[in-house]
Chain A
């Protein structure tokens, strides 16, 4: 406690400039906090580090027990994953990329105007509509799986990437509407009024006035939709086979052990997680807002 009272002296001049909160020294910081956070953080991330570390070993070194910390590093696992012997993962990776990117694009095109109609120029009962979107997210996907399967089977859409694209779009649309709305309500009204007085039409206002202001929000929304599409397994497992299978479905080929294959599995898991890790780290500070559907800022 004593430090709180003693410390203000050096920052005394700045307190005169009406910024007392910023000038005040930070509260007591016990040294154990940093240490504990570092130790727990490393402990917690250890499985992921372990995965990365094993992926750069030969199969026999990766399966060593106790672990060999001095074993030479190699990219054999990655080479093994991408080529030699087994089926190539490239088509699956490409399918995942296509499905994730196009479905995200569809989501943005649908969600942006919808969010506009729920925030800036709201329809009647806008909050009911908003909660309708949210409620679709709470219905378990397994319950809609069978009819979607049967309809696609009869329409000859099974194993077609476009089917997944539309399903992923519907999966992410509620999240995007909620997220975008939380960004749009922060657009200053004066800007919109000024544009309206200049005679700008609604699509023009959306594209020229609102979109640039909420661009960071749109980017964060896209990243989160991308992550969810990339991760999805159940639908792609049921609705695709050879042609349209996505990266997670490809990974399910590693569920049963195939002799010494640990380095290969770790390489596969690392490769397939890289896009999500990149997107997630890029959207780090907006991640919470997206995951909580804009309820938490």
Chain B
């Protein structure tokens, strides 16, 4: 912020008192920004306006005989649909579980990686790998190579372990059928833990070392240092990780689509909207659902923006 203000002052003084000149400079300031701004406005804002309008129109592509007219029915239909309500609930559960567990794992890994040990760079690289596997590929990996009841890694390992103890009768659960929600959550936690770890590790490394040293010299225990110094320092980073993670996980489509195809109560909001639009071809209802998703996101986004802006001000100080 201060840097920006300095340059701002610098340039305000430069043009001098001439009014016309100042106007010209303010346009020359804006010019580099305009292409990006206009581009974003056209591609991201106009479609939302269209969605909002369509959400009030009765419009099913499979029923061209029905007259298109203004209606509130899309909203009442969508909101009274038990499947849609269940998808709202699952979206919340999925987001909360994935974000909290990934934060917890990420914190653990970050604390370990913040200590010096042999091969730290290698371990760090290993830990970020899940985040760098294409999401669809990662979902396929979980569905076929890990959770498959006949040949998945989990059941293979169970067989192996049982064999070591001389048993030929290992449990071979059908993970996805028995725990569909847990399967999707596990795959996403695996994918998002590295993200949280990286943000929290950056937070840990920004903690001034000399104050920690001073506390240690004063005889504080590791736990005391963690609870009274590290954790408060990490608070912003935890919030940032949590909120950014929520933004991405709430929109997740790949894992749900791939692992369970939204069956057995694992349809989340993006999947439901996709389904209403692509399978049922009810454009009016899909738009109404989309608008509801936007309203929900705005609530979260308000908090997210506030957190990012506070972090960003702190950073610039």
Contact = CB atoms under 8 A, between A and B. Distances in A.
Interface of A: 1, 4, 21, 24, 26-27, 29, 33-34, 36-38, 40-42, 44-48, 50-51, 54, 62-67, 110-111, 113-114, 116-124, 126-127, 129, 131-151, 166-167, 169-170, 173-174, 177, 185-186, 189, 192-193, 202, 206, 227, 230-231, 233-234, 237-238, 247-248, 251-252, 254-255, 257, 261-262, 265-266, 268-270, 272-273, 276-277, 279-281, 284, 287-288, 291-297
Given A146-B54, A280-B131, A139 B48 contact: yes
A136 to B, nearest CB: 5
A230 to B, nearest CB: 7
Contact of A231 (B36, B134, B148, B274): B134
Given A34-B118, A142-B273, A234-B274, A24 B213 contact: yes
B43 to A, nearest CB: 4
Nearest to A279: B132
Find the residue from A51, A138, A269 having the highest chain B CB count within 10 A: A138
B4 A145 contact: no
Nearest to B53: A147
Contacts of A167: 43
A292 B50 contact: no
Contacts of B56: none
Interface stretch (B67-75, B78-86, B177-185, B308-316): B308-316
Contacts of B66: none
A41 B120 CA distance: 10
Given A50-B145, A189-B10, A202-B32, A142 B159 contact: no
Given A146-B286, A237-B257, A277-B133, 17 more contacts: A37-B113, A37-B115, A37-B120, A40-B108, A45-B126, A66-B159, A121-B11, A126-B4, A140-B293, A143-B51, A147-B50, A185-B316, A186-B3, A248-B136, A254-B144, A265-B140, A280-B132
Interface in B216-256: 216-217, 219, 237, 240, 244, 247, 250-251, 253-254
Interface string B40-64: 1001111110110010000000000
B119 A34 contact: yes
B39 A277 contact: no
25 contacts: A27-B212, A29-B116, A38-B123, A47-B130, A47-B153, A64-B151, A114-B32, A129-B37, A135-B305, A137-B247, A140-B294, A141-B270, A143-B273, A146-B290, A166-B43, A233-B136, A234-B270, A251-B134, A251-B140, A265-B145, A269-B141, A270-B137, A273-B133, A276-B132, A295-B311
Contacts of A288: 198-199, 201-202
Contacts of A169: 39, 43
Contacts of A64: 151, 156
B173 interface: no
A140 B297 contact: yes
Given A140-B250, A291-B244, A296-B203, A145 B144 contact: no
Given A138-B300, A170-B44, A273 B36 contact: no
B170 to A, nearest CB: 9
Nearest to B143: A255
Contact of B253 (A45, A234, A265, A295): A234
Contact of B240 (A34, A145, A147, A296): A296
A136 B136 contact: no
Given A144-B44, A147-B54, A265-B145, A273 B198 contact: no
A46 B126 CA distance: 9
A48 B4 CA distance: 44
Contacts of B251: 140-142
B123 A37 contact: yes
A117 B54 contact: no
Nearest to B259: A255
B26 A124 contact: yes
B301 A44 contact: no
Q: List 9 tightest A-B contacts by C-beta distance, closest first.
A: A34-B117, A113-B32, A147-B50, A269-B137, A143-B290, A114-B36, A280-B132, A144-B47, A138-B301
A41 B108 CA distance: 11
Contact of A273 (B116, B137, B304): B137
B43 A51 contact: no
Interface in B143-158: 143-146, 148, 150-151, 153, 155-157
Given A234-B270, A262-B144, A262-B145, A45 B129 contact: yes
A120 B8 CA distance: 8
B97 interface: no
A107 to B, nearest CB: 9
A106 B25 CA distance: 26
B40 A136 contact: yes
A1 B220 CA distance: 10
